[in-house]
Amino acid sequence: MSTLNLDDFSDLIERPDGGVRRDAEERRERLAVPPGTLGRLDELAEWLAAAQGRVPVSPIGRPRVVLFAADHGIAAEGVSARAASTAHELVRSVLEGTSPVAILAGRLGATVRIVDAGLDCDPGLLPEDVVRHRVRRGSGRIDKEDALTLDEARAALELGIRIADEEADSGTDLVVLGDLSVGGTTAAAALVGALCGTDASVVTGRGGLPIDDLTWMRKCAAIRDALRRARPVLGDQIALLAAVGGADLAAITGFLLQCAVRRTPVILDGVVSAACGLVAQRAAFRAPDWWLAGHASGEPGQSKALDRMALNPVLDHGVCVGEGTGALLALPLVQAAAALAAGLPEQAVREPAQ
C-alpha cells in the first residue's frame, strides 16, 4: 500500500526566489524602456526570473504542453454536450494535429504530451506511450458513488508526480497544463464548490462545448449531490479526490505539487487545472506561487478557484474550448516578457557635469 502523504509537500515546496525577484525589479528600473510601459510583461518576467533563480531571465527554450486525459462516469447522466466515454476522440484529434491546441503548439514551438489517466476505451485505439500510465478505465458517478478507490487516487497522484519528474529531468522549462476529458468540468466544479463552501449553482458552468439550459440543470443537480458526498471528507485531500474527483484530476494535482517541488513553472488552463490547484494549495500553501493562470475561461468554478489562490488570469478572450488552448495562448506573452527582460539594454550612465 502506498504511503503517500500530501502534507509532506508543505515542507518540500519553497517559494520562488524572492531575492532574485527583487534583483529583477531593480534591473527593470535600469532598462532603457521606461518602467511601467510594458504593462504586465514586467510582472511575468519577474515571476519567471524568480522561478528560474537568475537575472537576467533566460528565454524559454523547451515549453511543453502536458494534457491529462480521462472519462468521467457522471457524463452518462447527460451533463455534457459530448457523449459519455468519448474523450479518446479528443485525444485522437490532438494526435492527428487537427485540434486547436495541436495547431497552436506547432506554431509556438511547444511539444505536446498526452497522458491517459483514466480513458474509457480500448487501449489499442491509442498509441502505447499515451495509454501506458492508465490508472483505471473511466471513473465512478460522483453524484452516487466514489470516482476512485483510495488506492486508485493514490496511484493517480503518484502518476502525476512521476510525469512532473520526467518533464523536469528532460529539460522542460515551462509547462502548459490542460486536460482532455468528458465530464471533467463537472467533477472540477464539485471540488471547487466543496473547497470554497459554495452551493452548486455558484460553480456550475457551461463546459468546454457549451450546454443548453436543461443540460445545465442536470449538471447543477449532479454537482449538488456530489457536494453532499464531498463534505464529510473535506479534511483529507486524497479522500476528496477519490470521492468526487477522477484519475485525471488526481494526477494533475500530483503533477502540480511535484512541479513546484522541482521548480518548474506551470501555466494553468481552465476550471479542471484550477480545481486541482485548489486541492494542491490545501496540501502546500506555497505551491500556487509556481503557477500562472493562463486565461479566464468563463467557468464560474475557475473564477472561484483562482480568486482563492490569488491568481490573476493573463488573458480574457472568451476561449472556452479547453484542452489547454487558452493556457497555450498565454505562452507567447510569457516568451515575449522573458525576451524583453533579457534583451533590452540598460540605460547609459551619464557622467556628472564638471
What is the average per-residue pLDDT within 277-286? Answer: 97
Which strands make up the sheet holding 111-118, listed edge to edge?
A: 111-118, 63-71, 174-182, 266-268, 291-293
- Look at residue 90 and tell me whether its pLDDT is greater than 70: yes
Report the alpha-carbon distance of residue 301 to residue 284 in Å, rounded.
Answer: 21
Q: Which residues contact 249 (CB under 8 A, 6 or more apart)?
A: 70, 147, 156, 184, 187, 188, 191, 241, 272, 275, 276, 279
**Between 18-30 and 40-52, two packed helices, what is the crossing angle to 10 degrees?**
140
Q: What is the CATH number of the domain that holds 273?
A: 3.40.50.10210
Among residues 260, 259, 257, the alpha carbon closest in space to that of 238 is found at 257
Quickly tell me which residue has 464560474 as its cell: 300
At 33, is the pLDDT very low, low, confident or very high (cuts 50, 70, 90)?
A: very high
- The answer to whether residue 223 sits within a structural domain is yes
- The answer to whether residue 70 sits within a structural domain is yes
- The answer to whether residue 26 sits within a structural domain is no
Annotated catalytic residue: which of 77, 152, 299, 323?
Answer: 323
pLDDT of 1 reads: 42
Number of structural domains found in the chain: 1
**pLDDT mean across residues, the chain:** 95
- The answer to whether residue 340 sits within a structural domain is no
pLDDT of 210 reads: 81
pLDDT of 346 reads: 87
pLDDT of 347 reads: 82
pLDDT of 3 reads: 79
- Look at residue 20 and tell me whether its pLDDT is greater than 70: yes
- The answer to whether residue 34 sits within a structural domain is no
- The answer to whether residue 163 sits within a structural domain is yes
- The answer to whether residue 76 sits within a structural domain is yes
Residue 323 is among the residues annotated as catalytic for this protein: yes
- The answer to whether residue 343 sits within a structural domain is no
> Amino acid letter at 47?
W
What is the average per-residue pLDDT within 142-168? Answer: 98
Task: Print the domain residue range for 164.
Answer: 63-331
- Look at residue 164 and tell me whether its pLDDT is greater than 50: yes
pLDDT of 204 reads: 94
What cell was used for 306? 483562482
